[in-house]
Amino acid sequence: MDDMINRPITRRRALQVGLGIGAGLALGRLPAHASSHGLLPQRSRDGLYTKPIPSTGEEIPIIGIGTARRYDVGTSEAELAPLREVIRALPELGGRLVDTAPSYGNAETVLGAIMSELGNRDQIFLATKVRQEEPEDALAEIEGSFQRLQTDHFDLLMVHNLVGIDHKLPVLREMKEAGRIRYLGMSTSFEGQYDDFVAVMEREDMDFIQVDYAIDNRGAEERILPLAADRGMAVMTNLPFGRGRVFEALGDQEIPGWAAEYGIESWAQFALMFAASHPAVTCAIPGTATLEYLEDNLGTARTPRLPDAATRRRMVELVEGA
């Protein structure tokens, strides 16, 4: 496993394997040869499923945490205490990735203060974004993020919702070359941006994309996820609960026996399992503001096995029939 974590996947290998993956994505399965290239989920020392970032081979757990809304809080201990517990426990439980953005209100400031207090920044895979349109404003926003997050580097910096993508990607590449960021990419959470998003994916080399994807919101399956596999891009998925619609659909039903066989113990795990088990998806990022939710969400990455294509179809049918 240690060798796998540190062994890069070359661009040529990623594309070669990605072409094979793309052919199987419609069925929700990977080709058999993919396992020999290290693209199948692995187990970390902590027992969590991980997947590799194609551009380097670095492994990250298939479940991270998002900070939109939930980390936009004040400075009272009552507000900060549960968030501090989440950030403290995340690496202790084997998790790594935390996604944030300057547009998430006070989230960057809160997260930066908590990591500084806990002294665990080096245990966190820290992802943030830049959204300002004008180049000077974008640079100021990025520098502000460094200050608010109290760090000298980001593990991932993404252009938020395609804003100013053409003039920002060159800046991000310069920052990557200088060692201020480790990976670069772009994000969206709006289906109306998918055509432009695909166009950028086709012409630009990036380490990551982030897109909305849930069991009741599968539009990304048509072009974005197959293209990410073909282009060797890691995929983070936001809104894995469909803005709460998945929970509304399933209500108070019991977990069916066939789902329990996969180790699924909650509807949150059910929804996360669907998103994270897609062959092209690297990591799903549910909003996580309590220790209880963190433990439940990370439990998705500890299940005995991930669902196959037939089970994924069954999951969709259950939600659509609810």
User: In the predicted model, is pLDDT for residue 34 greater than 60?
Assistant: no
Kindly give the interhelix angle for 267-277 and 309-320, rounded to the nearest 10 degrees.
130
Catalytic residue among 104, 213, 262, 293: 104
User: In the predicted model, is pLDDT for residue 123 greater than 80?
Assistant: yes
The whole-model pTM stands at 0.88
Residue with tokens 């982030």: 210
pLDDT bracket for residue 245 (50, 70, 90): confident
The pair of structure tokens assigned to 181 is 């960021």
pLDDT of residue 62: 98
Distances (CA, A) of 290 to 70, 88, 122, 200: 10, 11, 22, 36
Residues 6+ apart with CB under 8 A from 94: 44, 45, 46, 47, 48, 61, 298, 301
Q: For a pLDDT cut of 90, what percent of the chain falls above it?
A: 83
Does the annotation count 104 as an active-site position?
yes
| Domain extents in the chain | 2-320
Distances (CA, A) of 119 to 42, 66, 87, 98, 114: 28, 20, 11, 15, 8
Residue 75 CB neighbour total at 10 angstroms:
10
CATH of domain 2-320: 3.20.20.100
Pairing of strands 208-212, 283-284: unpaired
pLDDT of residue 6: 35
